[in-house]
């Protein structure tokens, strides 16, 4: 292996110690940071994510509530739960696990969360702030990916960054964050012509596609920073990323593993966003 491993577990362990210290400080002031997660339906992957979020909260001493709702929940019921959490002073962060069942309106539900408790950074107010370069809550996966990139020590100014995937959750905010670091950013997606011609120019390559082994070694520039956001299951049921790790690690300069990479950092950033929301709430009390 020539690439250096960007170990999300190691980085998270270190960051979570600092988050736990901030939680302890708030508790001394009578505030226990609280995160509420709403999960609608029975999606197995979402159930695992929600369980990991609860475990993360426990680890740093945060209060956590998981509201598990049946598949046939109505929009009005979902929004009712969000409004109750908006008004609950023991809750500083609200997360609606995505994707929602098809009959529910995701954008409408996210708009109901008060922006101060939007620890996912998905509310249009927070997404708009990121776009405008204003301080606000930054979505957890791109925030975690940027922290991993920062830890390479590479100066990003003027570097070519290629983001594959254009979702609101990852691709778009990731592109904005890379742009803020003065990268020249290219966004690729399912309609991109000659994808490999773009990815081969990337000093920083972010794969957020949702297809196992989609990024092959011939698509990667030697020495590149390769960030794998994918969480897929292969034919044997094993969790694998969007990057063909075994082959790409021989070409890249740095690479994130799956599991133990970006996914772990996403939860760490969620904990960080929640403690920050609690600190803001404590200041305004
Ligand atoms: N589904 C996949 N990733 C995420 C995330 O970061 N937040 C939420 N709410 N749902 C997700």
pLDDT in tens, the chain (285 residues): 699 999 999 999 999 999 999 999 999 999 999 999 999 999 988 999 999 999 999 999 999 999 999 999 999 999 999 999 999 999 999 999 999 999 999 999 999 999 999 999 999 999 999 999 999 999 999 999 999 999 999 999 999 999 999 999 999 999 999 999 999 999 999 999 999 999 999 999 999 999 999 999 999 999 999 999 999 998 899 999 999 999 999 999 999 999 999 999 999 999 999 999 999 999 987
Catalytic residue among 53, 117, 159, 221: 53
Residue 188 is assigned to a structural domain of this protein = yes
In which domain, by residue range, is 247 found? Answer: 140-262
Residue of the CA atom closest to atom 3 of ligand 1? 98
Residues 154 and 258 in one domain: yes
53 in catalytic set: yes
43 in catalytic set: no
Residue 218 is assigned to a structural domain of this protein = yes
Q: Torsion angle of alpha carbons 274, 275, 277, 283, nearest 10°?
A: 170
Residue 181 is assigned to a structural domain of this protein = yes
Pocket test for ligand 1, best of 48, 50, 95 (most atoms within 8 A of CB): 95
Instruction: Please choose, from the candidates 27, 30, 36, 137, the residue with its C-alpha nearest in 3D space to the C-alpha of residue 88.
Output: 36
Residue 187 is assigned to a structural domain of this protein = yes
Task: Give the count of domains, the chain.
Answer: 2
Residue 18 is assigned to a structural domain of this protein = no
d(CA 178, CA 159): 9
At 48, list the tokens.
């695992």
Residues 68 and 175 in one domain: no
Residue of the CA atom closest to atom 1 of ligand 1? 98
96 lines ligand 1 (CB under 6 A): yes
pTM metric for this prediction:
0.97
Residues 170 and 252 in one domain: yes
Residues 108 and 145 in one domain: no
């Amino acid at each position: 292996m020539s690439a250096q491993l960007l170990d999300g577990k190691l980085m998270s362990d270190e960051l979570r110690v600092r988050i736990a210290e901030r939680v302890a400080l708030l508790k001394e002031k009578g505030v226990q940071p609280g995160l509420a997660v709403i999960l609608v339906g029975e999606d197995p992957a979402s159930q695992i994510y929600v369980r990991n979020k609860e475990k993360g909260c426990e680890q740093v001493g945060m209060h956590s509530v998981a509201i598990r709702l049946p598949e046939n929940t109505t929009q009005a019921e979902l929004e009712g739960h969000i409004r109750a959490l908006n008004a609950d002073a023991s809750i500083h962060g609200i997360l609606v696990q995505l994707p929602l069942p098809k009959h529910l309106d995701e954008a409408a539900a996210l708009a109901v969360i008060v922006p101060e408790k939007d620890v996912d950074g998905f509310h249009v107010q927070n997404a708009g702030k990121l776009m405008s370069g204003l301080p606000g809550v930054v979505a957890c996966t791109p925030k975690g990916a940027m922290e991993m990139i920062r830890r390479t020590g590479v100066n990003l100014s003027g570097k070519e960054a290629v983001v594959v995937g254009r979702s609101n959750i990852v691709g778009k905010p990731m592109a904005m964050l890379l742009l803020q670091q003065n990268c020249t950013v290219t966004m690729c997606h399912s309609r991109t012509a000659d994808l490999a011609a773009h990815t081969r120019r990337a000093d920083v390559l972010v794969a957020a596609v949702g297809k196992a082994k989609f990024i092959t070694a011939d698509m990667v520039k030697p020495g590149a920073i390769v960030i794998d956001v994918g969480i897929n299951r292969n034919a044997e049921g094993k969790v694998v990323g969007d990057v063909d790790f075994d082959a790409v690690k021989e070409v890249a300069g740095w690479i994130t593993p799956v599991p133990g990479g970006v996914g772990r950092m996403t939860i760490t950033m969620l904990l960080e966003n929640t403690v920050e929301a609690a600190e803001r709430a404590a200041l305004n009390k």
